[in-house]
Each structure stands twice: as structure tokens, then as C-alpha cells.
Amino acid sequence: MILLPTLPTLAIVGATGAVGREMLSILESREFPVSKLRLFASARSAGTQIPFRSEMLTVEPMVEGCARGVDIALFSAGKAISREWAALFVEAGAFVIDNSSCFRMDAAVPLVIPQVNPHALDAMQERGIIAVPNCSTIIALVAVTPLHRALTVERMIVSTYQAASGAGAAAMQELEQQAHAFAAGTPLATPIFGRQYLFNLFSHNSAIGEDGFNEEERKLLTETRKIWNSPSVRVAATCVRVPVLRAHAESIHLEFARSTSESEVRSLLANAPGVRIVDDRAANRFPEPIDASGGDDVLVGRIRMDPSVPDNRGVMLFVAGDQLRKGAALDAVEIAECLLERFGETDTMPQLDHRVHRTWGLV
């Protein structure tokens, strides 16, 4: 039987990155119960002081034995670090909640969005790795899953409008610095993307396969199938990087197994955990990245029937969600909350229970 202490020792691996810093802020604002928080990063960043609650924490390097005593580790330091260290943390007795793509498609590893498939954690018999899906997948599926459960998605078409943050803090800085350079009339530096980003957009910077799809697009297909346990659902995506700082938007076409109506779709979304409908046609107000930024919800709007699908089986949506929060750090912290709820030593954590239940409606 797995037992987690009521006040676990938590670790963040990759604490100085964009997602790591967001995790710290989320743990603080959600009053996540910890006895101790440990921060890990590369040797270069070790020694950095980072405030957490009333303390100053010192970033530790990853060294042999560093995982000892950790109950839950939130990894967000890239695939290579996850590949090298995740198993060592599990061996040392931790749950590892991994933001990288390293283990997502491993059949033994649950791939979890707490609003969508928290039950995937029920199968865990011992401490192990839990994977956080890719940001584009999380943001799409928080919005689409409530419709899928009621109407069965047969085909999903996605065109993304992805922010800089998905490529890390340095990419966000590159975009901001290009705005400064533009204003100053000096040449735009392009160390990260190798091309003008300000006032431009370009195909997602991930490796492209023989079929022409890049990895980001492929993740939307493979992760959706795994999370929904729906190996035949058809998904085709185009992933595009736009000059936005930290929230992704997605234009989504859905084709369902049965007929529906706009009002049915609206009422399914109105009750969906983690979803906020932003759909004011009169004021032309719909999901925008700046409104999603810093928030926990996936904003959903432009809700309308797709007239190019027969029999009222098609629906169109436009969604936006904070890439660093719901697309990464928040999803990881919510998974940690699910673990405490399931495997915590006591069932008397009224405050946490309340928050968990309110957030994804498990009551």
C-alpha cells in the first residue's frame, strides 16, 4: 500500500526554469501542504536563492543520493534530465510527476489531466512516474473532453497559436527583446529561434517526421488517444508559434458520432471543470491569450456549429490557456494534489479536499 505523509517533502527539479518558477508560485498560492520544499537545477544554477513563503531556499545541484527523503518530485528540466533522474527518484521512494515528453507514451506511466482522467492514477500500486501531457494537448482536452464524454469525438482538427513560453524563459525573453530592439531601431537578435519572431509567426520548432508532421502535432494525436483510451480517434493538427508570451490558443473543429446542438454544447461546457466560457458575440469578446495568462482556467469561446459537417455532428471552438500554468506547472501540482488525496496518510485534510473538489468537481 502506498502512503504519503500528510505534509510530504516536495522537490522541484528544474526550479529555475519558466515552468519551475511557475510551480513555486502555484504551490504558494494554493497553500500546498509540504513539510519541506527542495529545489534542484543544473550545476550552473545551484546556489541560487529563491524565496518560498517566508523562507529563502537554496537551489541544489543534482548529485548522487539527492533524491533521498523526497515524497513527490515535480520534474521540469527537459527530457534528458528526466531520462537520467526520474527512475532514481522513484527508487529513492518518490512519486515523480514529469513534465517532459520522456515517459508520456510509456504504457506503464499514467498520462494525467486531473480534470479529464484522474482515475488513471487509481491503477498505481506503488510509487512511480506520472506524466504531464504536452501543453497543447492539455489545453485542448480540458475543453473537449466534456463534449467527448457526451457525444464521442470521432475526428478533431486543431490549428494552434502557441506562445513563446513553450520554448522556455529564453524564448520569452527573445520576443520581448525583439520588441525593445524594434523600438530602438536596432537589429533583432535571434539566438533561440534563428528568425524574426516579433510581428511574425512560424511552424513549431520541433522535429518533422516523414509524414510531414512535427512532434508537437504528433503529440496531440498520440496523447489524446492515450488519455481518452480511444485508439481510433482521428486527430490532425497544425502547430504554429505566434508572437505571444505565455498562453496558447487553439482553433478546434470536432466531428461527433451523433448529432448535437449549440445549446447542448454550451451546457456541457458550462459544467466542465477547469473551463470558463468567454463567448460574448455582441461585444466581440472571445478567448484571448492575455486574458488566459496567469489564470487557471481554459477559456472557451467561438462556440458554433460547423456547417461543413452533415447532420449537426460538427462543432467549432476557439480556446486559450496559460501554457506555463494549466499547460505545465498547474497540471503537475494538481496531479500532486490528487496523489495526496488518494494516498495521503489521513483523510482529514478538509481544506485541501475542499480545494481539490472545487477545482475539478470530483464530489
- Torsions phi, psi for 148 (to 5 deg): -60, -45
**Shortest Å, Cβ 303 to a copy of itself:** 7
What is the per-residue burial (b if ≥16 Cβ within 10 Å, else e) of 20-40? bbbbbebbeebebbbeebbbb
Residue of 53, 68, 195, 354 interacting with a copy of itself (CB under 8 A): 195
Size of the site for a copy of itself (CB under 8 A): 57
How far is it, in rounded angstroms, from Cα 179 to Cα 188?
8
| 169 lies in the binding site for a copy of itself (CB under 8 A) | no
Which of these ranges, 49-57, 64-72, 153-161, 326-334, lies near a copy of itself under the rule CB under 8 A?
153-161
Distances (CA, A) of 278 to 33, 236, 266, 303: 33, 25, 11, 9
Contacts of a copy of itself in 87-146 (CB under 8 A): none
**Shortest Å, Cβ 56 to a copy of itself:** 29
CA trace torsion 52, 55, 58, 62 (10° rounding): -60
Q: Is 94 helix (H, G, I), strand (E, B) or coil?
A: coil
**Shortest Å, Cβ 157 to a copy of itself:** 6
Residue of 157, 169, 192, 277 interacting with a copy of itself (CB under 8 A): 157
Q: Is 134 helix (H, G, I), strand (E, B) or coil?
A: coil
**Shortest Å, Cβ 331 to a copy of itself:** 23
CB atoms within 10 A of CB 198: 15
| 253 lies in the binding site for a copy of itself (CB under 8 A) | yes
| Eight-class DSSP state of 188 | P
Q: Among residues 66, 102, 135, 338, which one is catalytic? A: 135
Q: Which distant-in-sequence residues (6+ apart) come within 8 Å of 159 by Cβ?
A: 237, 238, 240, 250, 251
**Shortest Å, Cβ 294 to a copy of itself:** 13
**Shortest Å, Cβ 247 to a copy of itself:** 9
Site string for a copy of itself, 201-220 (x = CB under 8 A): xxx-x--x--xxxx------
Q: Among residues 66, 102, 239, 248, which one is catalytic? A: 248
| 251 lies in the binding site for a copy of itself (CB under 8 A) | yes
Task: Verify whether residue 135 is a known catalytic residue.
Answer: yes
β-pairing, 202-203 vs 298-305, is unpaired
Q: Is 345 helix (H, G, I), strand (E, B) or coil?
A: coil
Q: Is 84 helix (H, G, I), strand (E, B) or coil?
A: helix
- Torsions phi, psi for 153 (to 5 deg): -70, 125
Q: Which long-range contacts (CB under 8 A, 24 or more apart) does 60-65 make?
A: 62/13
| 243 lies in the binding site for a copy of itself (CB under 8 A) | yes
Task: Verify whether residue 239 is a known catalytic residue.
Answer: no
Contacts of a copy of itself in 268-297 (CB under 8 A): 281, 284, 286, 288-290
Which of these ranges, 66-74, 98-106, 114-122, 307-315, lies near a copy of itself under the rule CB under 8 A?
307-315
DSSP calls for 31-51 = T---SEEEEEE-TTTTT-EEE
**Shortest Å, Cβ 320 to a copy of itself:** 9
* Closer residue to a copy of itself (CB): 36 or 302: 302
* Closer residue to a copy of itself (CB): 46 or 309: 309
Residue of 150, 169, 305, 362 interacting with a copy of itself (CB under 8 A): 305
**Residue in the structure block whose three cell numbers are 533521498:** 68
Residues that bind a copy of itself (CB under 8 A): 155-157, 159, 161, 175-176, 179-180, 182-184, 195-196, 198-203, 205, 208, 211-214, 234-236, 238, 240, 242-245, 249, 251, 253, 262, 281, 284, 286, 288-290, 301-309, 314, 316, 318
What positions carry a catalytic annotation?
135, 248
